């Protein structure tokens, strides 16, 4: 039986060496600065994006890939498999899922494509994708992979401390008044993503107190099966989180930088952790 192929969009933030090693097909999302459009991870590096984010007068926007991009990808994979699992952001947060659905409908006569709402963002979705790609590599059937996804999603969380509310304000996620007051008071909100819910809570004054609160919250959720330390242009903060959680981290804990699509909303200087709780 041909192996099941795994597709994910670039908001999963997985590095190219990981996706190549696990044979994960990544469909790039679109980043727009003014009238210029770039494919995430293809036309602009993360370093170039974050540098431009600080200097460009145009606040960047994002867009889903066209359905035709998904269709073309699925048709190419149809030569290698008879089943694809395509993992994406929740439809309430992005048009990516709908574009993937239209692409899948266009190839329904030649390939079975199962669309999956990851219920996660960034490397929370990346973690889930890595685990199911490992299962696919090891010969898991389509049903086994779908059962694994059902098991993983409720056990997967992402927490991050944001350094600023400005990007959330400019992206329309919080009001200008809230952002101005929050920045004036040096409030550092903690983002929590779980099962499709993206929450801002525990708005703590000072970075140090916010990170301490994040660590204490995460420690109550141990033990962990997989962990990724995450950041936007702040590797030392991710390293500090790793040190604070060192006694709980499983082998092969990675530190990855968040990509451009999610970076637009959380801004520079964020740091956090994505993890899958042990059963």
- Could you tell me the residue range of the domain that residue 129 belongs to? 5-153
Sign of CA dihedral 40, 70, 143, 157: positive
Specify whether 57 is located in the same domain as 121.
Answer: yes
> Are residue 196 and residue 262 in the same domain, yes or no?
yes
Boundary-marking domain end, from 153, 173, 200: 153
What value does the mean pLDDT of the chain take?
Answer: 87
User: Which of 109, 134, 153 is the endpoint of a domain?
Assistant: 153
Both 159 and 147 in one domain: the answer is no
Check which CATH number belongs to the domain holding 114 and give it.
Answer: 3.40.50.10170
Which residues does 32 contact at the CB level (< 8 Å), separation at least 6? 38, 60, 61, 62, 63
Mean pLDDT of 21-31: 95
- Same domain flag for 128 and 174: no
214-228 burial, b at 16+ Cβ within 10 Å, e below that, comes to: bbeebeeeeebebbb
How far is it, in rounded angstroms, from Cα 215 to Cα 135?
30
* Tens of pLDDT, residues 145-181: 999 999 999 999 999 988 765 544 444 444 343 334 3
């Amino acid at each position: 039986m041909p192996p099941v192929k795994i597709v994910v969009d670039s908001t999963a933030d997985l590095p190219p060496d990981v996706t190549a090693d696990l044979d994960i097909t990544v469909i790039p999302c679109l980043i727009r600065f003014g009238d210029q459009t770039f494919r995430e991870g293809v036309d602009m590096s993360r370093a170039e994006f974050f540098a431009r984010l600080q200097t460009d007068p145009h606040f960047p926007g994002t867009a889903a890939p066209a359905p035709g991009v998904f269709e073309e990808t699925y048709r190419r994979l149809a030569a290698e498999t008879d089943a694809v699992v395509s993992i994406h952001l929740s439809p309430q947060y992005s048009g990516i899922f709908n574009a993937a659905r239209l692409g899948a409908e266009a190839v329904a006569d030649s390939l079975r494509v199962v669309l999956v709402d990851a219920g996660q963002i960034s490397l929370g979705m990346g973690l889930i994708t890595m685990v199911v790609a490992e299962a696919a590599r090891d010969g898991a059937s389509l049903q086994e992979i779908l059962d694994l996804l059902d098991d993983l999603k409720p056990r997967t969380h992402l927490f991050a401390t944001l350094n600023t509310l400005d990007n959330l304000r400019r992206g329309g996620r919080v009001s200008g008044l809230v952002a101005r007051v929050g920045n004036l008071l040096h409030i550092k909100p903690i983002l929590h993503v779980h099962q499709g819910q993206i929450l801002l809570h525990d708005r703590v004054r000072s970075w140090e107190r916010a990170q301490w609160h994040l660590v204490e919250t995460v420690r109550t959720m141990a033990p962990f099966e997989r962990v990724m330390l995450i950041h936007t242009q702040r590797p030392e903060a991710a390293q500090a989180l790793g040190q604070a959680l060192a006694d709980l981290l499983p082998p092969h804990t990675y530190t990855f930088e968040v990509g451009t699509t999610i970076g637009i909303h959380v801004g520079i200087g964020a740091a956090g952790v994505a993890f899958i709780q042990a059963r």
